[in-house]
Amino acid sequence: MSLQLSSHRSSNPPEMTLRQRIWQINWTFTLLIALVGSIGVGMLYSAAGGNIDPWADRQLARLSFGLIIMLTVAVTDIRVWLRYAYVLYGIALFLLIVVEIAGDIGMGARRWLVVGGLSIQPSEMMKITILLALARYFYSSRLEDMGRITHLLVPGVMILAPALLVLRQPDLGTATILLVSGVTMLFLAGARAWMFIVGALGVIVAVVPIWRYVLHDYQKARLVTFMNPEHDPLGTGYHIMQSKIALGSGGIFGKGFLEGSQSHLSFLPEKHTDFIFTMLAEEFGLVGGLILLGVYLLILLFGFIIALRCRNQFGRLLAMGFVMSFFFMAFVNIAMVMGVVPVVGMPLPLISYGGTSMLTLLFGFGLLMCVYVHRDVRLGPGAADANP
Amino acid sequence: MQRDTDQYYSFTRRSALLFGGQIVLLSGLAARMYYLQVIEADRYRMLAEDNRINFKLLAPRRGRIVDRFGRPMAINQQNYRVLLTPENTKDVEKTLDTLATIIPINDKERQKILRDIKRRRRFLPMIVRENLEWEKVARIEVNAPSLPGISIDVGESRYYPDGILTAPVLGYVSGVAETEQTGDPLLELPGFRIGKSGIEKTLDVPLRGRGGTSQVEVNAFGREIRELERVEGQPGAEARLTIDLELQKFVAERMGEDSSSAVVIDIHSGDILAMGSTPSFDPNAFNRGLTAEEWRTLSTNPRTPLNNKAIAGMYAPGSTFKMVVALAALERGLITPATRISCGGKVSLGDATFHCWKSKGGHGNLDLLGGIMNSCDLYFYEVARRVGIDRISQMAERFGLGMMLDIELPGEKKGLMPTRAWKKSHKGAAWTQGETMISGIGQGYMLVTPLQLAVMTARLSNGGRAVKPRLTNAVVAFDGTELPAPPQPEFEDLGISPSHLEVVLKGMAGVTNLPGGTAFKARIKDPAFAMAGKTGSVQVRRISKLERETRVLKNEELPWHERDHALFVGFAPVHEPRYACAVVVEHGGGGSTTAAPIARDILIEVQRRDQSPSTELNVPRRPEGEG
C-alpha cells in the first residue's frame, strides 16, 4: 500500500491551495483505475475481432476524457461538493421526472434524454448524486439522531423516489444500485439494526404488489429463468447458458487473446457490454478472471482505507458509499454472467463498452480521490453553508 | 469530541463489516469461477465444440462402369447448377427478371423460389436450375455483373453415353427412397443417387465408395466461417464388365423397337458379350428425375421397357428345346442317331391329335439328323414319349434351363422345368403322356429365359462343360487394387458322351447350312464365319379344331399379341465354336424368318470384331441379306 497514512497529522490545516491539492492526488490509485480501463479497451479490441473500430477507439477516448474529469473532480474543494450536493441531486431527480414524461425510447426502455444532440442518462447521474445528497444529510447527524425514525423519513424519500422512477423506466439494475447505495448510507450513518430488520420484512411484504404491478414481463422472465436457465435453453435461458459455456470452456489458462471461439462466433450475446467478463474469462481463463477480481479487490481496498483515513464524516460516507456502489456493480455483473444471479442490465464497471457509465464511474472515483485529497479537512455542521 | 469518536468507531465497525462482506462475496465468485472453469471445464469445452462445429458429409464420386476393353459405359458428368444467394443481391425480383432472359423461369418456379427464400437463411445458396447447357453457363458468366446473387456451381451427375442401348445391362440410378434408408448417413444426403436396377444395383455398394467428412466452424447464426478438418472419402470402385460395348450397341440397334431380347456369350468363359432387351429406356432421364407422365408411359407400356427380357422374360423354348430331348434319349440309349421315325403330319393319342408344324403331308421317314434339321415335331413327340418327362427335365437342368444362373443382375427369373412330382404338387393332377409329347417340342408348362437358352447353346457347343454366365470381369478400387471376386471355377464336365453331342451339333449345322434346313435362308455364307443353330416358333394361342380344318391363320393376319414368339439359338464358327447367341422376338412370328436373321447378323459382327484390326479394315462386311 502506498497510501500515506502517516502524513498531515496536524489538527486542522489551513486552506489548501490548488497546487497542494494536486500534490495530494494518489497517483498509484489513478494508475490502477487507468489499468482496469485499459483492460476494457483491450477486451473491446478483441470483441471487434481484433479491430479498434467500432468500440476500442471510442472507449479509449472516453477513458481519457473520464480520467481528466476524475482528476478535476479530485482537486475541486470538497466543500463545493458538500454545498451543491442537494442541488445536483435535485437536478438529477428533475431530469428523471422529465425522462419519465418525455424520454426517448431507447432499447425498449425510457432512459435517455436528448438535449441539443447530447444524450443524458439521468439514472446514471442519480447513482452519484444520491451518494452526495445522503452524505450531506448525514454528515452532521449525531448517533442519537439516527435512532429516531423521524430523522430518517427525509432520506427514505430521497432514496425511494429516484429508485421507483428508475424501476418504472424500467431499469431494474440501476434501481437496485440506488437502493443498495441508499441502504448502505443509512447503515454507515448509524441507523439501528432493528430498522434494517423491519425494513427487510417490509420489502418481503412489498414483493407481491411489485411483482404484480411494477415489474415488466421480461423482467419477470429473467427472474424465472435465473432459477433454472437450462430448462429453456433457446429462450431467455440462452444467454446464461451460452455465457457459462464460453466461460467454462476457457479452462484454467484460456484460449488466448482474440481466440475466444464462443465470443467471436457470436454465441455469446452482448459480448462488448454486459457479457464482456465472459469473453475475458474465455480468452484468459481462470487466471485472467482471478487477476481481474484481484484488481477489483485492490480498488475496493484503496477506497476502504481512504474512507477510514478521512477525518470528516461527509468524506467517509461518500467514500464508503461509492466503494459499496462500485462493488455492487462488479459483483452483480460477474455473478450474472456466471449464472449466480438473474440477468439484469448491469455493465462491468470500467470495462464494459458504454460512455455514460464510464463517465459516471470516473466522476465517482474523482469524488473518492477528492475525499483522499481533503482527508484532513474538518467539516463542521455549518460547513455546508460556508464559502469554500 | 467524544461523540465524534463514537461516530468514527461506529462507522469503522460497519465499514469493516461491509468490506469483509465484499471479500467474502468476491471469494464466492472466485469459487464459482473455479467450479465452471476447472471442475466443469470439460463439459463446457464439449458444449462449446458442439456449438461451433458442424459435420458435413462429402459425397464420394461414383465408380465408372467400363466394358471389357475399358471403354466407358457409365461415367460422371459435370452438372452445372445455377445458385441464388439471396444475401448477395439487393433485389431478388430484379435478379430473377434478368436471369429469366437467359434461362426461362415460369411463374410457378418463380413463386417457389420467392417462397423458399423467405424460409431459409439469406446466406444459404439455393438451387434455381440444374443440368445447364454449357452455352447457358457461358451466357450467365458473361452477364455476371448484372446478376448479383447468382453463381454457377459444378456438381457431378451420372451419365450414360449410350443411354438406351446399354440400359438393360447397366440399369439406372436415382434418388434414395424412404424405404431404402439403411441408417447410412450418406444415403440421407440430399441429391444422393443409388443404383435402382441392372449392374448399378448389383454393384451399388462398391460403386458408391465411402463418404468423406468435413468439419466446418459455424457461428451462432449457422454461417460457415472456415473448414477445420477434412477427411476425404473414397471414390467408388470401377466395374469392368465382360460386355463389348461396340457389340452391345450393334445388338441393341439391330434388334430395333421390336419387343425382343438377345444374349451373346463366350462359350468357353461364360462372358456375356452383349445383352439386349427392347424396347429400352433412357437411364439419363431417371437421373434427371422423371415426370409423372414419363413414368406412367414407361410403366404401362405393354412391351415392358423397364423389364430386362433377357433374364426376366420367360418363354416356352419351343423347337430350340429339341437338342435337349434328343440328348436325354441318346444318353439313355433309347434312340441312336440312326433311329428312324415316320412323319405323316399328325399323330393321334387317344382322343387328341398332335400336329407337326408341317401338317400338310408331313416330313416322311427321318433319322435323328433329319429330325433336328427339319425340326420335325412328330419325331420328337415320339422321342419324348420314349424318354419320359422327368428325364427330359433332368437333362434340361444340366444345360441350365429352368435353373438360376446367378447372373450379376437383379430380377433374374428361374423359369420352370416340369416333372411328374411338380405337377402333382402344383396342379394336383397326374402327368399325362400328351403333356410329355408336347414337352418334347418345348411347349406346355416349361419356361426358360433367353439367357438360359444362350447358356444351353454354349454348353452344347463347348463340348458339354457347365459354363456359367458372368457380366463382371473385375471390380477395381480407386487405388487400383482389385476387389476380391469369387474364384472362377473350372467348369465341370456335364458327362455327356462326345459322340452324342456331335450328332446334335451336326443337326444344328444342318439347320443353317443344308438346303432344307429350317434356317437355311438365314445362313452365314462366308464359310469362315458359318454358324449352326436351331429355330423355334412358340404358339401363344390355341389353334381350334375348326381353324385347323379350314386354314390356319398366318401370323401376319393375327393381332400382335396373338402372334407366335420367334426364337433362335445359334453358335459360330461352326468348325471351332466360340460364341453362342440366343434371340427371342416376342410375337415375332416364325423363328426362321424373324429371329434367325438377327442372330446371324449378331454372330457375324461378333466374329468380325474378333479379327485383327487389319482384317477388320480390309474386309468391311455388311450383314448378309436374306435375298
Residue B1 predicted with pLDDT over 70: no
**A328 confidence band (pLDDT: 50, 70, 90):** very high
> What pLDDT, on the 0 to 100 scale, is given for residue A323?
97
> What pLDDT, on the 0 to 100 scale, is given for residue A57?
93
- What whole-number distance in Å separates Cα of residue B478 and Cα of residue B61? 10
**A104 confidence band (pLDDT: 50, 70, 90):** low
- Which one of B319, B393, B461, B592 is the catalytic residue? B319
Residue B444 predicted with pLDDT over 80: yes
Query: According to the per-residue pLDDT averaged within each range, which of B46-60, B88-102, B374-388, B553-567 is highest?
Result: B374-388
Across chain B, mean pLDDT equals 87
> What pLDDT, on the 0 to 100 scale, is given for residue B482?
76
User: Which residues from B are below 8 Å from A247, CB to CB?
Assistant: 33, 36-37, 44
**B624 confidence band (pLDDT: 50, 70, 90):** very low
Q: Scanning the structure block, which residue is given the C-alpha cell 434414395?
A: B176
Contact B47/A250, CB-based, under 8 Å? no
| Least confident stretch, A6-20, A277-291, B574-588 | A6-20
Q: Is B145 helix (H, G, I), strand (E, B) or coil?
A: helix
**A369 confidence band (pLDDT: 50, 70, 90):** very high
Contact A265/B220, CB-based, under 8 Å? yes
For B339-402, the DSSP string reads: --EEE-SEEEETTEEEE-SSTTT--EEE-HHHHHHTT-HHHHHHHHHHH-HHHHHHHHHHTTTT
- What whole-number distance in Å separates Cα of residue A317 and Cα of residue A109? 32
- What residues contact residue A63 under an 8 Å CB cut-off, 6+ apart? A34, A37, A38, A40, A41, A358, A362
> What pLDDT, on the 0 to 100 scale, is given for residue B501?
93
C-alpha cell at B460: 452344347
Q: Report the residue from B3, B18, B33 with minimal CB separation from A320.
A: B18
- What whole-number distance in Å separates Cα of residue B585 and Cα of residue B260? 4
C-alpha cell at A48: 471487434
Q: Where are the domains of chain B?
A: 56-241, 245-295+308-618
For B278-309, the DSSP string reads: ES---HHHHHH---HHHHHHHHH-TT-TTS-H
> What pLDDT, on the 0 to 100 scale, is given for residue A120?
75
User: Which residues from A are below 8 Å from B40, CB to CB?
Assistant: 248
Specify whether B319 is catalytic.
Answer: yes
With residue B592 as reference, give the H or E element that holds it: none
CA angle B115, B117, B119 (to 5 degrees): 80
- Residue with the bigger pLDDT between B207 and A99: it is B207
C-alpha cell at B101: 432472359
Cross-strand pairs, B581: B264, B570
Q: Report the residue from B15, B19, B48 with minimal CB separation from A249.
A: B48
Compute the average pLDDT of residues B589-616: 80
> What pLDDT, on the 0 to 100 scale, is given for residue B611?
66
Q: What number of C-beta contacts closer than 8 Å exist between A and B?
A: 132
Q: Report the residue from B29, B40, B52 with minimal CB separation from A248.
A: B40
Strand B565-572 relative to strand B193-195, pairing? unpaired
- What residues contact residue B45 under an 8 Å CB cut-off, 6+ apart? A248, A249, A251
Q: What is the DSSP letter of B438?
A: H
Residue B623 predicted with pLDDT over 70: no
For B443-494, the DSSP string reads: -TT-BB-HHHHHHHHHHHHTTSB----B-EEEEE-TTSPBPP----PPPPB-
Q: How far is B19 from chain A (nearest CA, A)?
A: 7
Per-position b or e across B198-237, b if 16+ CB within 10 A of its CB: bbbbbbbebbbbebbebbbbbbeeebeeeeeeeeebbbbb
State what percent of residues in chain B have pLDDT above 90.
Answer: 50
Best CA proximity match to A333, nearest among A279, A283, A253, A291 = A279
Q: How far is B5 from chain A (nearest CA, A)?
A: 10
Residue range B130-178, pLDDT digits in tens: 778 888 888 888 888 888 888 887 778 899 999 899 999 999 998 888 7
**B486 confidence band (pLDDT: 50, 70, 90):** low
> What pLDDT, on the 0 to 100 scale, is given for residue B621?
43
Contact A248/B41, CB-based, under 8 Å? yes
> What pLDDT, on the 0 to 100 scale, is given for residue B25?
96
State what percent of residues in chain B have pLDDT above 70.
Answer: 96
Contact B47/A331, CB-based, under 8 Å? no
Across chain A, mean pLDDT equals 86
Contact A266/B225, CB-based, under 8 Å? no
- Residue with the bigger pLDDT between B293 and A286: it is A286
| Residue type at A145 in one-letter notation | D
H helices within chain A, ranges in order? Answer: 18-24, 27-47, 56-75, 78-102, 122-138, 149-168, 172-189, 193-209, 217-227, 237-250, 261-264, 276-309, 313-337, 355-373
- Residue with the bigger pLDDT between B132 and B525: it is B525
- What whole-number distance in Å separates Cα of residue B191 and Cα of residue A134? 73
**B316 confidence band (pLDDT: 50, 70, 90):** very high
For B56-241, CATH number? 3.90.1310.10
Give A 272-291 residues with CB within 8 A of chain B: 281, 285-286, 289-290
Cross-strand pairs, B448: B315
- What residues contact residue B360 under an 8 Å CB cut-off, 6+ apart? B345
> What pLDDT, on the 0 to 100 scale, is given for residue A1?
41
What class, spelled out in words, does domain B245-295+308-618 have in CATH?
alpha beta
Residue A103 predicted with pLDDT over 80: no
- What residues contact residue B157 under an 8 Å CB cut-off, 6+ apart? B76, B77, B79, B131, B193, B287, B288
Q: How far is B50 from chain A (nearest CA, A)?
A: 10
Contact A245/B48, CB-based, under 8 Å? yes
> What pLDDT, on the 0 to 100 scale, is given for residue A111?
67
Cα distances (angstroms) measured from residue B327 to each of A171, A220, B417, B568: 105, 97, 16, 19
> What pLDDT, on the 0 to 100 scale, is given for residue A227?
55
Compute the average pLDDT of residues A189-204: 88
The CA radius of gyration of chain B, in Å to the nearest whole number, is: 36
**A223 confidence band (pLDDT: 50, 70, 90):** low
Share of chain B residues as helix, strand and coil, in percent rounded to the nearest 5: 45, 20, 35
> What pLDDT, on the 0 to 100 scale, is given for residue A387?
60
C-alpha cell at B578: 466360340
User: Which residues from A are below 8 Å from B18, CB to CB?
Assistant: 184, 187-188, 320, 323-324
Task: ipTM value, please give it.
Answer: 0.90
Nearest CA in chain B to A309: B12
Best CA proximity match to A69, nearest among A388, A382, A365 = A365
Q: What is the distance, to the nearest Å, from the Cα of residue B293 to the centroid of all Cα atoms in its chain?
A: 23
Residue B569 predicted with pLDDT over 90: yes
Compute the average pLDDT of residues B9-23: 95
C-alpha cell at B618: 480390309
Q: Is the dihedral of CA B277, B283, B284, B286 positive or negative?
A: positive
Q: Is the dihedral of CA B111, B116, B117, B119 positive or negative?
A: positive
Contact A331/B25, CB-based, under 8 Å? yes
